[in-house]
Structures are given as structure tokens and as C-alpha cells.
């Protein structure tokens, strides 16, 4: 019977365990370029079967938060290369999460221009800007002629990730960012080929996935979805049908994995009628990663029962650089400190203690 410590093949990679590090925004790249502090942070967490990087903006237009490290310029490629080299030298594997924030952004990031989205619908809440929290604005609805250029930006970013030495990329289709804004009908009221029925709302996701697979090979591409997450004001009238269709359609690419986060911000049903995510697992023909508040026991149960092939841990990995070793020894865990999640320096980032050697 498999558990978290059973090795697993992911595309061309042989991974030593199924304890993955979930993508987490940490805002430690003031100039948008990965730096040595980030290198230390990722290298510390190299015990993960797979590290999935924090969201990395695919273009200047994709930015929506301060100090996020991008993946579209030569300087960013060089910065990430130092990160991936450190991870590989320590025996690990790392994917780059490709991110376009869409409407979850602010004119302060775009020289006063509006953020873009499928439709001119303002997200709930406030944007994190370099000057602090500000109300979200009504985004500008993309012209249909602009969409191929954004798809091309994803392919370019995937190629940058390859050049930066990443083992693959995860397309961020979750948590209310641009791809998710197209997918769910609460944020997409388009009347063209990208809006209306789910076949149209999923078109952007599928075009991006196709372009990224063409750029770097489908066995090095994963996709993340968040069917239950109301974060950033997200909602769908029929999440079961929307995500069932997306999962079926993604099957045809032969991807490295599908990563489904179960996160719901403690508000079950807020993103639309609840359904059993197990149906997605049954539909999906490849590796299935789950995520969302798992501990060791629940994660082992998920793997043993076949509910998932691997589990991505977020805040537990944030606070425990040696999470894999702690799980192995059933050792106590450090508690994550939310005050230092976003921004700042080494404190709450690279200073969480490791266990003493056994
Ligand atoms: C929390 C704060 C900022 C960004 C996500 C990229 O939810 C994020 C994110 C989360 O996917």
C-alpha cells in the first residue's frame, strides 16, 4: 500500500516522496527578480518530493502584488537559475508556477492603466499595492484580439522557465486569477467565444495549456484548479459541471499532473453549490495532487485510499523546512506565523528551525 513516502514518477522525474511543497506567494523579490534570500528559502525545503514555486508573473501585465518574482525577462531567468541550481545540487525538483493575476491587481502596478479581465467586474475586497491596501477597481474587459498575445505570453514564460532550469511548470488556473476568471461564470459575462457555456469559458485555460505544452512538452506541465475557493470574489453557478468539463478537456494533453486545491477559506458553498471533488479524481487520467489543510494522517489516508497520488502542503512547509524529516520521525511541527507570510526579509522566511539531527 502506498503512503507519503512511496516514490512516484511524475513525467520524466523520479520523485522520492509524495510530500509536495504547495505554491505560496511570499513577496520577497522587491525588484521582481529572484534573489539569494529566495534561493536559501527554496534550498531549505528541498526534501519535498516536488517544490512548486510561488506564483511567478508571466508578463508585466500579469502582476498584481508587490515584490513577486517574474518569469519573463532575462534577469528573472538568471535569478531563478540560481534557485533551481541550488535545488538540483541538493537533489530536489522544482516546478515554476505561471501566474497572471488579471483583475486581482491595481492601476498602481500598470502606470495608471486598468488591470485586465474577461469582463468588467470588480473583485470583492482590496488589492495589496506598494502603498498598502486599496480598493479593487473595475477591470478593463479584454478585447478578443488581445487574447492570443496573452496565450503567447504564457508560452514565452514557460520557455523562460525551461531556460531557468525548472523541471516543469504549473499553470495557475486557481484562486480567482486570470484563467479562473475566465472559467467561472461569476467573473465571466463575455458574449464571444470565451464566454457563456463552459466550452467557451474553458477555452482560455485550454489554449494556454496547449501553448505551454507545445513550448516545453506536456510531461513537464501541470495545472492547478480550485473548484471550491471563493477567494478574490469567485463564484460559479455550477462548479460540478464547470470543473468536470475542464478536467475532461485537460485529459487530452497528457499532462504531468492535475493539482486540485480543496481550499474554501472556511466558507463552504460560498463559491457555488458544493460537490464531491472525488468525481474529478475519477475523471482525471493522470497524476492527481490534492491540497488544503492536510496533516500527515489525512494525507496518508488520501494516498492509501487512492483519493490522491500526492499531497501539496502549504503553511506546514512554510514553517517546517524539514517537513519530510519531521513526518518521517513523527516529530513536533513549528507553527506558521501569518504576520510574516507576505513581504519582509529573512524573519519568518528562512529562520524557521530544523530538527536536530537524529
Ligand atoms: C495569498 C496572497 C497572495 C497571493 C493564490 C497566489 O492564492 C495566491 C496568493 C495567495 O494562489
Domain extent for 35: 8-340
Q: Is 348 part of a structural domain of the chain? A: no
Q: How far is the CA of 328 from the centre of ligand 1 (A)?
A: 29
For the CA of 224, the closest atom of ligand 1 is 11
Phi then psi for residue 297, to 5 deg, are -65, -50
In this prediction, residue 87 has a pLDDT band, given cuts at 50, 70 and 90, of very high
Separation of alpha carbons 13 and 283, rounded Å: 23
H helices, E strands: number in the chain:
11, 14
Q: Is 149 part of a structural domain of the chain? A: yes
Q: Is 182 part of a structural domain of the chain? A: yes
Separation of alpha carbons 224 and 174, rounded Å: 6
pLDDT given for residue 97 in this prediction: 99
42 is catalytic: no
Closest Cα to atom 7 of ligand 1: 175
In this prediction, residue 65 has a pLDDT band, given cuts at 50, 70 and 90, of very high
Give the Å distances, CA to CA, from 31 to 274, 278, 311: 40, 41, 32
The model's pTM is 0.98
pLDDT given for residue 120 in this prediction: 98
pLDDT tens digits along 221-260: 999 999 999 999 999 999 999 999 999 999 999 999 999 9
Phi then psi for residue 254, to 5 deg, are 65, 50
Q: How far is the CA of 280 from the centre of ligand 1 (A)?
A: 23
Determine the average pLDDT of the residues in 187-193: 98
Q: Is 351 part of a structural domain of the chain? A: no
Q: Is 305 part of a structural domain of the chain? A: yes
C-alpha cell at 184: 467561472
Separation of alpha carbons 292 and 312, rounded Å: 8
Determine the average pLDDT of the residues in 19-47: 98
Residue 106 pLDDT exceeds 80: yes
Residue 358 pLDDT exceeds 80: no
For the CA of 55, the closest atom of ligand 1 is 6
Determine the average pLDDT of the residues in 337-350: 98
Closest Cα to atom 11 of ligand 1: 175
Judging by DSSP bridges, how do beta strands 126-129 and 132-135 pair with one another? antiparallel
Q: Is 101 part of a structural domain of the chain? A: yes
Residue 25 pLDDT exceeds 80: yes
Residue 312's SS3 state is strand
Kindly name the residue from 65, 177, 257, 349 that is annotated as catalytic. 177
Determine the average pLDDT of the residues in 63-87: 98
What is the DSSP-derived secondary structure letter of residue 138?
Answer: P
CATH classification of the domain holding 158: 3.20.20.70
Percent share of the chain, pLDDT over 70: 100
pLDDT tens digits along 124-182: 999 999 999 999 999 999 999 999 999 999 999 999 999 999 999 999 999 999 999 99
Domain count of the fold of the chain: 1
In this prediction, residue 305 has a pLDDT band, given cuts at 50, 70 and 90, of very high
Give the Å distances, CA to CA, from 16 to 3, 5, 7: 12, 7, 4
Q: Is 42 part of a structural domain of the chain? A: yes
In this prediction, residue 356 has a pLDDT band, given cuts at 50, 70 and 90, of confident
Give the Å distances, CA to CA, from 152 to 117, 180, 203, 204, 228: 17, 18, 14, 12, 29
Separation of alpha carbons 35 and 99, rounded Å: 19
Q: Is 357 part of a structural domain of the chain? A: no
CA 65 to chain centre: 15
User: Average pLDDT over the chain, rounded to whole?
Assistant: 98
Q: How far is the CA of 241 from the centre of ligand 1 (A)?
A: 25
Give the Å distances, CA to CA, from 116 to 74, 140, 152: 25, 5, 16
Determine the average pLDDT of the residues in 260-274: 97
Amino acid at each position: 500500500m502506498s503512503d507519503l513516502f512511496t516514490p512516484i514518477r511524475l513525467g520524466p522525474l523520479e520523485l522520492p516522496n509524495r510530500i509536495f511543497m504547495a505554491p505560496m506567494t511570499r513577496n520577497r523579490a522587491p525588484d521582481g527578480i529572484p534573489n539569494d534570500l529566495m534561493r536559501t528559502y527554496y534550498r531549505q525545503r528541498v526534501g519535498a518530493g516536488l517544490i512548486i514555486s510561488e506564483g511567478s508573473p508571466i508578463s508585466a501585465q500579469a502582476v498584481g502584488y508587490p515584490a513577486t518574482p517574474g518569469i519573463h525577462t532575462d534577469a528573472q531567468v538568471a535569478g531563478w537559475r540560481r534557485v533551481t541550481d541550488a535545488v538540483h545540487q541538493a537533489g530536489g525538483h522544482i516546478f515554476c508556477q505561471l501566474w497572471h493575476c488579471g483583475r486581482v491587481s491595481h492601476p498602481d502596478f500598470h502606470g495608471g492603466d486598468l488591470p485586465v479581465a474577461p469582463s468588467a467586474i470588480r473583485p470583492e475586497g482590496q488589492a495589496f499595492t506598494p502603498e498598502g491596501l486599496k480598493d479593487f477597481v473595475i477591470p478593463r474587459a479584454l478585447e478578443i484580439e488581445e487574447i492570443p498575445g496573452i496565450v503567447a505570453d504564457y508560452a514565452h514564460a514557460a520557455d523562460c522557465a525551461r531556460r531557468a532550469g525548472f523541471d516543469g511548470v504549473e499553470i495557475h488556473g486557481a484562486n480567482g486569477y486570470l484563467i479562473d476568471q475566465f472559467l467561472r461564470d461569476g467573473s465571466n459575462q463575455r458574449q464571444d467565444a470565451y464566454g457563456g457555456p463552459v466550452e467557451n469559458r474553458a477555452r482560455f485555460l485550454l489554449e494556454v495549456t496547449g501553448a505551454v505544452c507545445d513550448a516545453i512538452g506536456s510531461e513537464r506541465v501541470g495545472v492547478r484548479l480550485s473548484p471550491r475557493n471563493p477567494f478574490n470574489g469567485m463564484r460559479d453557478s455550477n462548479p460540478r459541471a464547470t470543473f468536470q468539463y475542464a478536467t475532461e478537456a485537460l485529459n487530452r494533453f497528457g499532462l504531468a499532473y492535475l493539482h486540485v486545491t480543496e481550499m474554501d477559506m472556511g466558507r463552504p458553498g460560498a463559491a457555488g453549490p458544493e460537490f464531491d471533488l472525488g468525481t474529478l479524481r475519477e475523471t482525471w487520467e493522470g497524476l492527481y495532487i490534492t491540497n488544503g489543510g492536510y496533516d500527515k494522517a489525512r494525507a496518508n489516508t488520501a494516498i492509501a485510499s487512492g483519493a490522491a497520488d500526492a499531497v501539496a502542503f502549504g503553511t506546514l512547509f512554510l514553517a517546517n523546512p524539514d517537513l519530510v524529516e519531521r513526518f518521517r520521525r513523527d516529530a513536533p511541527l513549528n507553527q506558521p506565523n501569518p504576520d510574516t507570510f507576505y513581504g519582509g526579509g529573512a524573519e519568518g522566511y528562512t529562520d524557521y528551525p530544523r530538527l536536530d539531527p537524529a
